[in-house]
Structure 1
Amino acid sequence: AQVITQAAAGQESEYLTRLLGGGAPAPPTALRAAMRGDCHMHSDWSDGGSPPLEMALAARDLGHEWVALTDHSPRLTVASGLSADRLRAQLELIGELNATLAPFRILSGIEVDILENGSLDQTDELLGQLDMVVASVHSKLRMPSVPMTARMIAAIRNPHTDVLGHCTGRIIVGRGRPQSEFDAEAVFTACREHGVALEVNCRPERQDPPDDLLRLAVEIGCLFAVDTDAHAPGQLDWLDGGCARAEQFGIGPDRVINTRGTPGGRR
C-alpha cells in the first residue's frame, strides 16, 4: 500500500530505492543477528509454491545454517497434507539434499494438525523420526474455551511436540478471522513446563500471538520460536520483522530456539 501511495503521488518508492541500493539496509537487531535458522516453512509438497531445494537455497542465502521443512499433515487435505507414505518419501529426499548442501542442513519436520481430542495427525513412529514437530490447530477454531484449552494442552504434553504453532489462528487482513478462545495462562504454562516453544508467527496476516498474549507468555517464562511460516522463498526474510516484534517484548536470543545449532534434532 505504501508503494502504491508513493507512486500515485509521483514519488519514488522507498522500497524500490532500497532495492536499487539507494539506501543502506538497517543493521540486524541483536536477536536477528543471533538467528541460525527457521523452524517453520512449507514447500510444494503441500501448499507451498517452491520445491524443498529452492526453499533451502533461499534460506542459506539469508545466512541460515539450517531450516526446518514442515509441510502439512494428512488431515489438512485443502493444503495437500502429506500421507505417511509421502512423508517417508520426503524424508528420503531430505537425506539426499543434505548430502549435497552440507554444512547447511534441512531439518526433517512437519506442521501437524492438533485433532479435536488433542492427538497429533501422524503416527508416533514417524513423528519420532523427525527433527522438528510444529503442532497447530487448523480445524474447529471456534471451539469453546474449555475444550480448546484441553485440546491444546494435550498436544503440548505430547513428547513429540517441539513448537506450538500460531496459537490463536487469527487472521488480521481482509475479512479476517477472530482468534480462538482458550485459557492462555494454562496453555503457556504447559508450554513452559514441557519445554515446548511458543511460535511468534511472522506472517503479516497472522502476527500471532497478539500483543497481549505475547506479553503474557514472556511473563510466564516460555521459550519461543520466531518462524516465518514461509510458503515461498521471498517470505523467508519475514524473519526480520518477527525478530523486531519479539524484541519489543523483551525476548532475547537465550529464549529463542532458532538461535540454537539444531533445535529438535532427534535424528
Structure 2
Amino acid sequence: MDAPAALEEIARLLEQELANPFKAKAFRRALAVVESLSADEVAAKLADGSLKRTPGIGDTTYEVIAEASAGAVPAYLADLREKAGVGAARTGLHALLRADLHCHSEWSDGTTSIAAMAHAAAAAGLEYFALTDHSPSLRVANGLTAERLASQLEIVEALNASGELGVRILPGIEVDILEDGSLDQTPEMLDRLDVVVASVHSKLRSPGEAMTERMLRAVADPHTNVLGHCTGRLVRGSRGTRPQSEFDAEAVFAACAANGVAVEINSRPEREDPPDELIALALGAGCLFSIDSDGHAPGHYAFLRLGAARAETAGIPSERIVTTWPVDDLLAWSRRNR
C-alpha cells in the first residue's frame, strides 16, 4: 500500500457510507498534496516532521500517510474496510450491471473531477457510465448552460480518447423537467448526448393532475431516455424526509413503456425511489428500468448494490434493465430518436 492509494480509498469509503462530506474532502485535499510530491519528497517530509505543517494535511491524514508510507494498511482504513465489507464479491443482479446512467461531477454538484468518477467506475467493475451533470435551471447545483455543456463534451471526448480510464464515459445530462413539461436544455445540445435522464426537481408538491401532465410531456419528448427518481421522495438522511409527489403512476408508466423510456431505480439510500409498490406497477406496465447510483462522489457507485437488491426482490428480469446491456445495445436504444 502507498499513501495516495490509502487516502483515495478512505475518501471513497467515507463517501460510500454517507459520512459528513467534510471528512472525505479532507482526505482528498491530503491526496492532492501527496500527489504533488514525489515518494522521496514525502519520505523526507515525514522524516523531518515538515509534512505535519503542510497546508492540506491534518492529524488524521498525517497518520494515514505515515502508516501507508511504511508499507502498512493504515488503522483508519482497516476499520473502514471492515465496516464496509470490502472484498465481498458482486453477486446476483449486481454482478450483471455493466453501467450507471446517472452520475455527477464537480461540473455541477458532484465533489470530484470527471476523471476521478471514471476511475472509480472502473474500480467498481463497470464497463461504462453516463456523465449526467445538472441542467441550467438548477442553479443551486451549478447546472450547465449549453455553452458549459459543450465544453464538457470536449473534455469527455479527450478522456475517452486517452485510453487511460478503464471505462467509457457516455456524454449525458440530468435535465430538469420544467413546470410545463419541457426539458431544460436546448434540443441541439440534447441531440449531441448519448443519455438524457429527465427528472423533476422543483414544485414537487404540485397537484397530482398538473404533475402528471408535466411528466407525460417529458416522457413523450424523443430525447428522454430515463425518468429519474420519479417521486422525488426522501426517506432519511441529512436533508430530512420528503413525501413523494402525487401523480397518476399508471398513466406515467404506460407512457414510459410506450415511448421506450426506462424508469430509474435510484439507488441512493436516502431516496429508495420509486417505492416498492411503484416498481411493481412499472414492471406490470412493461417498462424498462435503469439501476443508477445518482452518484455525486466516487464512493457512491457502491449504492448500486442497494438498487440491484431492490430490483432482484421485485423480480425484474435482467434483460429489462438497460444498465445490464452491452454498450452498443444501450446506445442503439438511447440514440434511436436522435
Fold agreement, TM-score > 0.5: yes
**SS of 1:247 mapped into structure 2:** helix
CA contact (8 A) 1:29 1:244 kept: no
- The reply on whether 1:197 has 2:262 as its aligned counterpart is yes
Q: Given that residues 29 and 243 in structure 1 are in contact (C-alpha distance below 8 angstroms), is that contact kept between their aligned partners in structure 2?
A: no
Residue of structure 2 equivalent to 1:224: 289
Contact (CA 8 Å) 2:119, 2:167: kept in 1 or not? Answer: no
**1:260 is matched with which residue: 321, 325, 336?**
325
The gaps in structure 1 that reach 5 residues or longer are 4-14
Q: Which of residues 103, 107, 110 in structure 2 aligns to 1:48?
A: 110
> In the alignment, is the contact (CA less than 8 A) between 2:103 and 2:133 conserved in 1?
yes
Distance across 1 between alignment mates of 2:78 and 2:269: 20
Query: Which residues of 2 match residues 104-115 of structure 1 at below 5 A?
Result: 104-115=167-178
Of the two, which has the highest radius of gyration? 2
Name the structure 2 match of 1:8.
none
Identify the residue that residue 137 of structure 1 maps to in structure 2: 200
SS in structure 2 of the partner of residue 54 of structure 1: helix
- Pick from 165, 173, 187 the counterpart of residue 252 of structure 2: 187
State the SS of the aligned residue for 1:40. Answer: strand
Residue 156 of structure 2 corresponds to residue 94 of structure 1: yes
Contact residue 192 and residue 220 of structure 1 kept, 8 A: yes
Conservation of the 8 A alpha-carbon contact between 1:18 and 1:25 = no
Alpha-carbon deviations, 1:27-70, whole Å to 9, x = none? 43321111111000000000000000000000011111101000
1:156 corresponds to which of 215, 219, 238: 219
2:134–2:144: 8 Å Cα contact kept in structure 1? yes
Q: Residue by residue, what CA displacement relative to the aligned partner does 1:183-208 show, whole Å, maximum 9, x if unpaired?
A: 00000010001000000000010000
The alignment of Structure 1 onto Structure 2 pairs a total of residues equal to 254
Look up the equivalent residue of 2:290 and give its one-letter code: A
RMSD (Å) for aligned C-alpha atoms: 2.1
Pair 21,101 (structure 1): closer, same or farther in 2 beyond 3 Å:
farther
Pick from 167, 171, 176 the counterpart of residue 234 of structure 2: 171
Mean Cα deviation higher: 171-180 or 52-61: 171-180
For the Cα contact (< 8 Å) 1:128–1:160, is it kept in 2?
yes
Deviation at 1:247, TM superposition (A): 0.4
Q: For the residues of structure 2 that align with 1:157 and 1:41, how far apart are their CA atoms?
A: 23
Amino acid at match of 1:78: V
TM-score by length of 2: 0.71
Relative to structure 1, the CA distance from residue 21 to residue 87 in structure 2 (aligned partners, 3 Å threshold; closer, same or farther) is closer
Could you tell me whether the CA contact under 8 Å between 1:225 and 1:258 is conserved in 2? Answer: yes
Q: CA deviation at 1:212?
A: 1.0
Percent identity of equivalent pairs: 56
* Equivalent position amino acid for 2:147 in 1: D
- The separation in 2 between residues aligned to 1:242 and 1:22, in whole angstroms, is 17
Choose between structure 1 and 2 for higher RCO, CA contacts under 8 A separated by at least 6 residues: 1
Code of the residue aligned with 1:238 in structure 2: it is: F
Q: Structure 1 residue 220: deviation in Å?
A: 1.2
Q: Quick one: distance in 2 between partners of 1:172 and 1:114? A: 22
Distance in 2 (CA, whole Å) between partners of 1:22 and 1:143 is 39
Structure 1 residue matching 2:210: 3-state secondary structure: helix
For 2:6, the equivalent position in structure 1 comes to none
- 8 Å Cα contact 1:167/1:208 also seen in 2: yes
In 2, distance between residues paired with 1:95 and 1:260?
22
